[in-house]
Amino acid sequence: MKNGISVNGNSRVNGNGHGRVDGNGNGHGPISLLAANGRFSAATALSKYAGKTVLAVGAHPDDLELGMGGTLARLSRAGARVVMAVVSIPSDLKSRIKEARRAAQILGCDLRFLIPGHCCRVEDLKTHQLVTMTDSLVKELLPSAVFTHSLANLHADHKLVYQACMASQRLEYFDLFCYSPTSTHEIHIAFQPHAYVDISDTIEMKMAAIRAHSSQFSRRGLGTEHFRQMSSRFGQMVGVDYAEGLEVVRMKLN
């Protein structure tokens, strides 16, 4: 594993940069994401974002921490400016803003609330309003990479955020990744990562950031340690203690 990223050996990208994997895990398309030895070269790992801006978009406070908190911490440590963008806060506005700020501080990230003044749901927004929000972030920040929800998701509002980020691809080029589904109930979701980030050195930062959202885990079906176990399972797949999985939508190899 080079600089913390391992890539599924069956992944490919097509001419538009979109990864395609069939039901048997076989990739299609002319360009491989792999170096000759089956791993990313150092130039295409996390260090490629050093000195650049990375944007991570989540539907609600805690989605980013659950799905890719360890990766965000690694990006920040690698010298990237990491901006966590929270689309909506459904309830408990003041407490959830406070918790989100604490979590972002733990991970070493900047934080943006797209609707900071009142509680609402993503579904309350018209499609053009949500796309305008993600467009505005892309125009302002000019990110080198964007991370968002996966379409493999049981939450309709998470899918809406995914679709808005997909639409914003038309404005500027940026690498685009989708992080693991963030369900807080024990249910299988067919998420098939194309790449894995070794978060063995940042797992405790991820867990501390998750615990910062204390108002949420007193009412949910899963405790916070479930997400440590998920990271351990991803890690076992690539031979490290802890990892997070990512879908690769598009990525430019220099």
Q: Given this model, what pLDDT does residue 248 score?
A: 94
What residues make up the domain containing 214?
Answer: 49-191+202-250
Percentage of residues in the chain having pLDDT higher than 90: 62
Q: Given this model, what pLDDT does residue 226 score?
A: 83
Asked if residue 151 is part of any domain, the answer here is yes
Model pLDDT for residues 97-113, shown as the tens digit of each residue: 999 999 999 999 999 99
* Total domain count, the chain: 1
Geometric angle at alpha carbon 176, from 135 and 12, rounded to 5°: 145
The 3-state DSSP class for residue 188 equals: coil
For every residue of 165-187, DSSP letters joined together read HHHGGGTS--EEEEEPP--SSS-
Asked if residue 44 is part of any domain, the answer here is no
Q: Given this model, what pLDDT does residue 29 score?
A: 33
> Residue written as tokens 């797992």?
203
pTM (two decimals): 0.82
Model pLDDT for residues 112-151, shown as the tens digit of each residue: 999 988 999 998 899 999 999 999 999 999 999 999 999 8
Asked if residue 53 is part of any domain, the answer here is yes
Rg (CA), the chain: 17
Which residues of the chain fall below pLDDT 70? 1-44, 183-189, 218-222
Q: Given this model, what pLDDT does residue 8 score?
A: 57
Q: Given this model, what pLDDT does residue 227 score?
A: 87
User: Residues 168, 21, 53, 209: what is their CA dihedral angle, to the nearest 10 degrees?
Assistant: 110
**Distance from C-alpha of 241 to C-alpha of 234, rounded to nearest angstrom:** 9
Q: Given this model, what pLDDT does residue 135 score?
A: 98
Asked if residue 176 is part of any domain, the answer here is yes
Asked if residue 197 is part of any domain, the answer here is no
Asked if residue 106 is part of any domain, the answer here is yes
The 3-state DSSP class for residue 197 equals: strand
CATH of the domain at 70: 3.40.50.10320
Asked if residue 107 is part of any domain, the answer here is yes
**Distance from C-alpha of 41 to C-alpha of 106, rounded to nearest angstrom:** 29
Q: Given this model, what pLDDT does residue 254 score?
A: 73
Q: Given this model, what pLDDT does residue 55 score?
A: 98
Asked if residue 41 is part of any domain, the answer here is no
Q: Given this model, what pLDDT does residue 216 score?
A: 81
